[in-house]
Structure 1
Amino acid sequence: MSGKRIRNIPLYVWVREDEMQEIQERMAAAGIQNMSAYIRKMALNGYVLNVDLEPVRELVSLLRRCSNNLNQVAVHANTYGIYEYEVKGLQKDYAKLWEQVSEVLNQLTAIVEL
């Protein structure tokens, strides 16, 4: 049986009842259900980081909607006419905004990968 396992060395840790309760609460907060995986992660890395990225997801959704609106403005401008520099200005501002959001997302990714 131990020949099939990648991790073939058991590690036993004795804890009090209150410590076990705290470990289980922290596991639940981190979204980890496997005790072995949680203990291994904590022993090797020292912490488990659980980041709520819902505000970032909403920001990305809003940016996508802005992009769609910008495309609609461009279609309207091409169909009915509008000053081209206005559309280019909107595109430039949107590109700058997206660069800043991309930078924030990259920083969050770096934090989560720790």
Structure 2
Amino acid sequence: MNQLSTRNFGAYARKMLIDGCVIKVDYTAQKKLAAAVSRIATNINHVCRRINSTGHFHEDDVAELKARQAEIWELLKVRQRNEL
């Protein structure tokens, strides 16, 4: 129970009875990727609103979107390398 950082003996006992073992998974990489995707989605929404209201876009917006996309690709590449 200490390795899983839980104090609920009932949940721990059920998990052990059903599976026979408990696997603790680190979701740090997935959380970073989800945060990066969320940031670019927010930026895309802002750019789209600006384009819809003004009728034109700024080169700085495009550069920022490309930078965010590169960040996501880098996180995906790191994740893929770690899995292989």
User: TM bucket by the smaller chain?
Assistant: 0.5 to 0.7
Shift of 1:67: 2.2
5+ residue gaps, structure 2: 1-19
TM-score by length of 1: 0.47
Q: Does 1:28 align with 2:2?
A: no
Partner residue of 1:77? 50
Mapped to 2, the partners of 1:69 and 1:86 lie a distance apart of 16
Q: Does 1:86 align with 2:60?
A: yes
**Aligned Cα RMSD in Å?**
2.3
Q: For 1:53-106, what per-residue CA distance to the aligned partner results, in whole angstroms no more than 9, with x for missing partners?
A: 311121122022112202211212212336520111111111211121011111
Letter of the 2:21 partner, please give it.
A
**Alignment of structure 1 residues 24-103 onto 2, 5 Å:** 28=21, 31=23, 52-81=25-54, 83-103=57-77
Relative contact order (alpha carbons < 8 A, sep ≥ 6): 1 or 2 greater?
A: 2
Mapped to 1, the partners of 2:40 and 2:70 lie a distance apart of 12
TM-score by length of 2: 0.60
Mapped to 2, the partners of 1:64 and 1:96 lie a distance apart of 11
The percentage of counterpart residues that share the same residue type is: 3
Give the aligned length: 64
Larger radius of gyration: 1
5+ residue gaps, structure 1: 1-26, 32-49
Letter of the 2:35 partner, please give it.
L
Partner residue of 1:107? 81
Mapped to 2, the partners of 1:74 and 1:98 lie a distance apart of 18
Letter of the 2:60 partner, please give it.
E
